[in-house]
Amino acid sequence: MSEIAHADRAHALLSPSGAHRWLHCTPSARLEATLPDSKTEASRRGELAHEISELKLQKIFSGLPTRSFNASLKKFKGHELYEPIMDDHTNAYVDYIQSIVHTFPSPPYVVIERSVDLTDFVPESSGTSDCIIIGGGKLHVIDYKNGQGVPVPAEDNPQMKLYALGALKAFSLLFPITEVHLAIVQPKVWDQPSEWSLPVADLLAWGESIKPIAQAAFNGEGEYSSGDHCGFCRARINCRARVEHMLDASSLAPLKPPLISWGEVGEVLRKAEGIDKWYKALKEAALAEVLKGGQVAGWKAVEGRGGRDYANMDAAFAHLKEKGIEEAVLYERKPLTPPQLEEALTKKVYKELLEEPGHVIKRAGTPTLAHEDDKRPAITNQVKPEDAFSAPIE
Ligand code: SF4
């Protein structure tokens, strides 16, 4: 897998992107620093989308020549993680930035991918803001998020507030700034960016308020505290505080090492078995309760993400064909899988036409964790000595 330049950024121990976590759980940053940072495909895809966004902004605001732009874009589009929808999503981000720029009577100051110094508030910390726009006493800090699983609102967002503090430090001597506007463009989640504003005085007061917390986090002091900030923590799988919080397992007393052992993992897996289904069922019951007007402390029902449907599919497709749209564009043609064909052809015909002539191969199943009394034999990735020595010598 080829590397994406955006991935090369150095991250401070107390990075703005981790602020939600280390502000709530001060020892987490030092603990995370001892654990490997395993990047997911989603995070690498996010880095690629950031590269594409930056390129598009450079063309508009930094005068990147068309030839260089086209060459770089072609390279990004050839990347194995590129997906065509990325073009629409990064366009949405660029369009939003342009719409902000156009609100100013004269061209504002625009900086892209700017590194900001946060050491006035957070020890040894810095970060990179996707886009900063300054003009008419306003500071806009805009961030692109490619993720889909977790919506990230701009309101009271510590990552965004830290970028804004860094931008103030960098530019407030050059530009008078009184208002701060934060925006997160997350096209996979929201049609419109999430926005939030606050006066500069409030931002600076917040910066002062987090200084002792940041110092404790830098020192690795304080209590482990689990919550929704654990989601992207490197310790989230085997963090003792989190396990205790989820299971209320009083037998796993505090003051033990912060990471649970594999022996304890076995016990936790057993205790937590079915917890996901249970949680889902409980959530459904709570939703039904609040929908019928009942109260569930701390919860409410809201409208989920809507979808789109044809008012009349036959009429819509007839209209499209009339307008010259090919039928092949309107329908998806997908091959049936072997189990589906077996069902469609009957077992006998399937066997005669596909299995016996060797048109179907058997794949090994994905490894799955099972109880030790499961009837299937245990498997491992380790090469056994008998297999190693029985391999032919080339
Ligand atoms: S997983 Fe553990 S260390 Fe990480 S933020 Fe949550 S409580 Fe803190």
**Binding site membership of 20 for ligand 1 (Cβ less than 6 Å):** no
At 176 the three-state DSSP class reads coil
The rounded Å distance from CA 181 to ligand 1 centre is: 30
The rounded Å distance from CA 211 to ligand 1 centre is: 20
Does the structure show a pLDDT above 80 at 8?
A: no
**Binding site membership of 52 for ligand 1 (Cβ less than 6 Å):** no
What was the pLDDT predicted at 394?
47
**Is beta strand 109-117 parallel, antiparallel or unpaired with respect to 138-144?**
unpaired
Name the band, by pLDDT with cuts 50, 70 and 90, for residue 38.
confident
**Binding site membership of 243 for ligand 1 (Cβ less than 6 Å):** no
What was the pLDDT predicted at 208?
98
Residue 39: alpha-carbon gap to chain centroid: 11
What was the pLDDT predicted at 387?
63
Mean pLDDT, rounded, for 51-61: 95
What was the pLDDT predicted at 1?
41
Which residue did the predictor score with more confidence, 333 or 30? 30
Cβ 247 vs Cβ 238: under 8 Å: no
**Binding site membership of 239 for ligand 1 (Cβ less than 6 Å):** yes
By alpha-carbon position, which residue is closest to atom 1 of ligand 1?
Answer: 236
Fold of 5-219: Lambda Exonuclease; Chain A (3.90.320)
What is the residue-averaged pLDDT of the chain?
89
pLDDT in tens, 168-181: 999 999 999 999 99
What is the distance between the alpha carbons of residues 93 and 86, in angstroms, rounded to a whole number? Answer: 11
The rounded Å distance from CA 249 to ligand 1 centre is: 16
Mean pLDDT, rounded, for 234-253: 75
What is the distance between the alpha carbons of residues 33 and 258, in angstroms, rounded to a whole number? Answer: 13
Nearest Cα residue to 379 out of 390, 368, 391, 363: 368
**Binding site membership of 217 for ligand 1 (Cβ less than 6 Å):** no
What was the pLDDT predicted at 15?
95
What is the distance between the alpha carbons of residues 348 and 346, in angstroms, rounded to a whole number? Answer: 6
What was the pLDDT predicted at 5?
54
Does the structure show a pLDDT above 90 at 256?
A: no
pLDDT in tens, 184-212: 999 988 889 999 999 999 999 999 999 99
The rounded Å distance from CA 21 to ligand 1 centre is: 7
The share of the chain scoring above pLDDT 90, in percent, equals 63
The residue whose two tokens read 């957070």 is: 122
- Closest atom of ligand 1 to 21 CA is 5
The rounded Å distance from CA 42 to ligand 1 centre is: 21
What is the distance between the alpha carbons of residues 308 and 110, in angstroms, rounded to a whole number? Answer: 36
The rounded Å distance from CA 257 to ligand 1 centre is: 13
Name the band, by pLDDT with cuts 50, 70 and 90, for residue 374.
confident
What is the distance between the alpha carbons of residues 375 and 39, in angstroms, rounded to a whole number? Answer: 35
Cβ 135 vs Cβ 97: under 8 Å: no
Ligand 1 probe mutation, 229, 240, 245, 268, most atoms within 8 A of CB:
229
**Binding site membership of 242 for ligand 1 (Cβ less than 6 Å):** yes
What is the distance between the alpha carbons of residues 63 and 339, in angstroms, rounded to a whole number? Answer: 55
Could you state, in order of their start, the residue ranges of all structural domains in the chain? 5-219, 234-295, 327-357
By alpha-carbon position, which residue is closest to atom 5 of ligand 1?
Answer: 230
The rounded Å distance from CA 231 to ligand 1 centre is: 9
Name the band, by pLDDT with cuts 50, 70 and 90, for residue 84.
confident
Cβ 44 vs Cβ 84: under 8 Å: no
CA atoms within 13 A on the CB side of 143: 27
pLDDT-wise least confident of 30-39, 80-89, 247-256: 247-256
Mean pLDDT, rounded, for 152-162: 97
What is the distance between the alpha carbons of residues 292 and 125, in angstroms, rounded to a whole number? Answer: 49
Which residue did the predictor score with more confidence, 149 or 287? 287
Does the structure show a pLDDT above 60 at 182?
A: yes
**Binding site membership of 31 for ligand 1 (Cβ less than 6 Å):** yes
Nearest Cα residue to 145 out of 182, 185, 181, 183: 185
The residue whose two tokens read 């910066």 is: 207
